[in-house]
Amino acid sequence: MEVFGEDGEVSPSRMISVNNPKTPGISETMVTDSQGVAEFPHLAEGNYNVVALGNSDKMMRDLDAGTLNQADIIKDMKMTNAEVLEGKETRVSLGAAPANPIAISGRVTRGGAPVTQGFVSFSANGKSLLDTLALAEIKGDGQYETTLDGEGRYRVTVQITGGNMLEQTTTEFVRDIAQVEKVELDLQLPEGRISGIVLDPQGKPAPRARLSVQASGPTPTDTMLGGSFVERQTDDNGEFEVSGLTEGTYTVFAGGAAPFGLGTNEGPSYGRVSSAPIRLRENQSVENLRLRLETPGSIQCRVIDEAGIPVDGASIFVRDSGGRPIESFSLATTQATGQCTYRGLAPGNYTVSARSSDLASVESAPITVKEGEISDITLTARAGTTLRLLFKNPDGDPTPASLQVLNEQDLDMVRMFGAADMALLYSKEPFLESERRIGPLPPGRYRIIAIIDGKTVEKSMRLRGQETKRLTLRAR
């Protein structure tokens, strides 16, 4: 593969990472030579994500000095996807000049004040994420600039970063970009805000505790993350403030295992606890929220198929007694033995399910987690059905919608992302705002509820384990 810099010239000494998205924690890394080329021999056949980072020498110096942060990693990042075939050479180019360049710039603000750090990213509707992704760093005055490849409808994501991958507040927009030489696009973040304090099990402030904010309710299909995504840490006094939230219903979670599989084998210090659902009006502030962490327990999951054979690579999803997913993104996956330990759970009752690329289990009966103990559960995964939904307006034109898919227990299946979903997101499959892929789902009855052009369309169906079920929902 060859890598080019922003000046269009070959880029030596760039760090290149290659990984199969089905195994997100395993990657191979090399550095480009003087010609901007890196070669990865002996790769197994399969689909791979290819990521070019910044200058490897500078990154290692900053790492040794303790000054390497998320901004340094992301600002020079280039990504694509490659299909490797047995016995054949696959050539990849990263950073080449766009065929139909559009220079886009603007200012990111919140409450009239500039956002001083973070990133703006663009990805085109109807194309794969990696093939169209354009990144821009937000400067100290809120300004950003980058180059897009051609006109179209773009998902625009503002990601406000902290010092590491554990801290990010993400807001999504959708904008139409015309094929012109230059575009000025200012982005005003919403002003909804939630603040409070997290206490440890002894009632003292919990510094640097994990904090997440998850939205609930219908999911907009023209976004990847449902409109917002928040991963933060409390400050040295255990306090937190999350801003940039749109109108909607949210749950604040604290504690639990580190996100994105970045935790250690020792597991988290605190069990994951949650607030009651918070209904946030436009630009509203909710203050003085208090969450008290608990000593964690764990669930030891074993996933088998109908023949009793262990299922490798199944994502484990855990819901609390209110039916809310403990994690929207679950990278807790089974090994070849079919086993996985789900750590960082507060004492209480939970239900568990498992899903791979083609198998799915039903929601389990409630299982009790106790402080400092491991509770065992076995799940049977059967052939699941992938729902492929298409949404149309009254004129019959494809259009985005807000979506819920409810199972027989009225649990929403849309806001659940596992390893297979992440692999699909970073593949060559295009992202279409008028379509949504859900599943695989286990056999059973489901209700699909879509809000299209302000009108609610509802359909019920029974899935029987067929590989795919296609359904069009049209507003009348």
Region of poorest pLDDT, from 36-45, 434-443, 455-464: 36-45
Does 23 have pLDDT greater than 90? no
Mean pLDDT across the chain, nearest whole number?
Answer: 88
Q: The CATH number of the domain where 466 resides is what?
A: 2.60.40
DSSP 263-312: --TT--SSBBEEPPPEEE-TT-EEEEEEEE-B--EEEEEEEE-TTSPBPT
Which of 333, 348, 383 marks a domain boundary? 383
Region of poorest pLDDT, from 184-188, 314-318, 326-330, 426-430: 426-430
Please give the average per-residue pLDDT across 423-435, as a whole number. Answer: 80
Please give the average per-residue pLDDT across 372-398, as a whole number. Answer: 96
Q: The CATH number of the domain where 118 resides is what?
A: 2.60.40.180
Asked if residue 283 and residue 196 are part of one domain, the reply reads yes
Asked if residue 281 and residue 196 are part of one domain, the reply reads yes
pTM for the model: 0.86
CA proximity to 215, closest of 173, 243, 245, 244? 245
Which of 94, 114, 133 marks a domain boundary? 94
Q: The CATH number of the domain where 328 resides is what?
A: 2.60.40.1120
Does 266 have pLDDT greater than 50? no
Q: What is the pLDDT of residue 263?
A: 47
Asked if residue 446 and residue 392 are part of one domain, the reply reads yes
Q: What percent of the chain has pLDDT over 90?
A: 62
Asked if residue 202 and residue 274 are part of one domain, the reply reads yes
Please give the average per-residue pLDDT across 136-142, as a whole number. Answer: 91
Asked if residue 196 and residue 185 are part of one domain, the reply reads no
- Select the highest-mean-pLDDT range: 18-27, 54-63, 302-311, 427-436: 302-311
Coil, strand or helix at 86: coil
Asked if residue 357 and residue 316 are part of one domain, the reply reads yes
Q: The CATH number of the domain where 233 resides is what?
A: 2.60.40.10
d(CA 158, CA 173): 8
Does 306 have pLDDT greater than 90? yes
Asked if residue 309 and residue 374 are part of one domain, the reply reads yes
Domain count, the chain: 5
Q: What is the pLDDT of residue 190?
A: 93
Both tokens assigned to 163: 């010092």
Which of 292, 314, 339 marks a domain boundary? 292
Q: What is the pLDDT of residue 40?
A: 86
Coil, strand or helix at 137: strand
Region of poorest pLDDT, from 45-59, 139-153, 217-231: 45-59
Residue 273 pairs in a beta bridge with: 254
Asked if residue 219 and residue 240 are part of one domain, the reply reads yes
Asked if residue 61 and residue 40 are part of one domain, the reply reads yes
Residue ranges making up the domain that contains 90: 2-94
Region of poorest pLDDT, from 130-139, 247-256, 307-316: 130-139
Tens digit of each residue's pLDDT (9 = 90 or more) over 327-366: 988 889 999 999 999 999 999 999 999 999 899 999 999 9
DSSP 307-367: TSPBPTT-EEEEE-TTS-BS-SB---B--TTSEEEEEEE-SEEEEEEEE-SSEEPPPPPPE
Q: What is the pLDDT of residue 323?
A: 93
Are the beta carbons of 359 and 311 closer than 8 angstroms?
yes
